[in-house]
Structure 1
Amino acid sequence: MQANAQRRPLAVLAGLAGVSALVLLPAASQAAALASTAPAARLENTAWVVERLGERPPVGSTSLTLRFENGRVAGSDGCNRYGAPVTVRGSALQVSQRGMSTKMACPPAVMQQAETFQNALRNSRAFRFDGGRLRLLAADGRTLLVLAPQAQQLVGSTWRVAGFNNGRQALVSPILGTSLSLRVLKGGQLTGSAGCNSYTAPVRLEGTRLRIGAPVATRRRCPGAGVMEQERQFLAALPTAVTLRLEGDALELRRADGAIALSLRRIAGS
């Protein structure tokens, strides 16, 4: 009972949970491919990170993301996840007012930024590529958003585990006072902390698909209610991941059935 009391459920947007994996080009390849394609087609299956809202950069360490897939836009507004239909004809663009969003509360400055971002999306009427960047424009031609291609490089990055599937169809956060991590190494290896022991596992990355082998961990016993059971659940969740979704500083690893296996946040500087 004590271990359960230390966990808190993670908010998941049911309407987006079953979205199929997006095949993303590396940022440099994505920018190069845009140059030789018709305007509308150049947006499909691309992912972006906001550099500027009007004349201002995003607040603090928040990451605002936008991706185009199958007639929809989706991503994070820095606080909540969102999704909405989008119509693109030539260089004209319009995001539907009938979108969906999670309902998490965030600090006032972040909430205000999220509202500004959502208004910019709804008021966008055209787009333009500019030096590898994407500009979303108002009806009068003003730039509402400037976005850069989402980097897809994972090798050398380090991630903090925000949530993991406990094997009972629930995504749970780590026990308070424990830290779970994942680092992607050269040569197809993962390493990190399982909350008590360190572990390694082989990994094969192919675009947005991955295959993780059975983890091997050290054998320390650690005190604390539920710590060793948490480690067992986390290490069991790792090999179930078959697809990844990278948006800004957030990484989701999903199982074959679409359920989230791991939810991670990039550690600054990695």
Structure 2
Amino acid sequence: MQANEQRRPLAVLAGLSALVLLSAAPQATALASTTSAARLENTAWVVERLGERPPVGSTSLTLRFENGRVAGSDGCNRYGAPVTVRGTTLQVSPRGMSTKMACAPAVMQQAESFQSALRNSRGFRLDGGRLRLLAADGRPLLVLVPQAQQLVGSSWRVAGFNNGRQALVSPILGTSLSVRVLKGGQLAGSAGCNSFTAPARLEGTRLRIGTPVATRRRCPGAGVMEQERQFLAALPTAVSLRLEGDALELRRADGAIALSLRRVPAP
């Protein structure tokens, strides 16, 4: 009798332990999923290999995780789609959106392959500083490296600027507009005719640019001086930035693009 009474508490204790383990399992699974998703949230990547191949020419394919969505550039168009991340599983929704710009045939084919790789991804692995998106059989579909976020010391060519009339326009043929990010919170560059400098403050993706100061040379050519005025006026309207591969967008408070820039490779 005493032996049975001594065994009963052990049996009860074993039952309680099993109950605790069973109740903790869903919490551990949820925690693992949350932790895994958090590792990707607000990260930005650039494709190193699409299947077994590097990107075509100078194209840049990018992937950003933000607020339960993926977004970026497929080398031709910008895209965005919801994404679900649980544990090491990952699935991009086929109900995404994309711009519809036409590009060279090889670039368009690459963009289609990239979008197909995203849609067919069923898992991911982080190792060696790289992100690998995996097919259902574990085969790597995309290999990506972290997007470099360092701007100090970088140089950019202006591809488009807001002309102040709600339009993003390209520089006049034969003119070159540029921006360099200097140490000490300064921008410098060419406004197409004159050189300029401007104070700048960057906090994460938030940006504040002061009034530019430019040299006062007058240059010939139809519209060159008006272009310079519009470009220098657009600079201080930028309040945020988005870096995607070799493309940099400076945006105004209303979300409109103030400046669109392309990175100039280091010599």
TM-score by length of 2: 0.86
Task: Compute the displacement of 1:120 (Å).
Answer: 0.2
Q: C-alpha deviations, 1:208-233, integer Å up to 9, x for none?
A: 11111100001111111111111000
Aligned residue identity for 1:74: A
The question of 1:79 aligning with 2:76 is answered yes
Q: Over aligned residues, Cα RMSD in angstroms?
A: 1.0
Aligned residue identity for 2:86: R
Spell out structure 1 runs of 4+ moving beyond 3 A.
none
Aligned residue in 2 for 1:135 = 132
Aligned residue in 2 for 1:144 = 141
Q: What secondary structure sits across from 1:214 in the alignment? A: coil
- One of 231, 235, 253 as aligned partner of 1:238: 235
Q: What secondary structure sits across from 2:119 in the alignment? A: helix
Aligned residue in 2 for 1:55 = 52
Aligned residue identity for 1:259: A
Aligned residue identity for 2:190: S
Q: C-alpha deviations, 1:87-139, integer Å up to 9, x for none?
A: 11111111111111111111111111111100000000001101111000000
Separation (CA, whole Å) in 1 of partners of 2:46 and 2:84 = 20
Aligned residues: 234
Task: Compute the displacement of 1:161 (Å).
Answer: 0.4
Aligned residue identity for 1:116: S
TM-score by length of 1: 0.85
Q: C-alpha deviations, 1:8-57, integer Å up to 9, x for none?
A: xxxxxxxxxxxxxxxxxxxxxxxxxxxxx821211111110000011111
Separation (CA, whole Å) in 2 of partners of 1:168 and 1:47 = 32
Aligned residue in 2 for 1:181 = 178
> Equivalent residues in 2 for 1:52-131 (5 A)?
52-131=49-128
Q: Among all aligned residue pairs of Structure 1 and Structure 2, give the percentage whose two residues are the same amino acid.
A: 90
Separation (CA, whole Å) in 1 of partners of 2:166 and 2:125 = 42
Structure with the greater alpha carbon radius of gyration: 2
Q: What secondary structure sits across from 2:35 in the alignment? A: coil
Aligned residue in 1 for 2:166 = 169
Separation (CA, whole Å) in 1 of partners of 2:68 and 2:152 = 31
Aligned residue identity for 1:103: K
Aligned residue in 2 for 1:160 = 157
Aligned residue identity for 1:87: T
Aligned residue in 1 for 2:257 = 260
Aligned residue in 2 for 1:248 = 245
Aligned residue identity for 1:79: C
Aligned residue in 1 for 2:189 = 192
Separation (CA, whole Å) in 2 of partners of 1:47 and 1:155 = 18
Once the two structures are overlaid, the 10-residue window that deviates more, 76-85 or 99-108, is 99-108
Q: What secondary structure sits across from 1:40 in the alignment? A: helix
Separation (CA, whole Å) in 1 of partners of 2:124 and 2:36 = 9
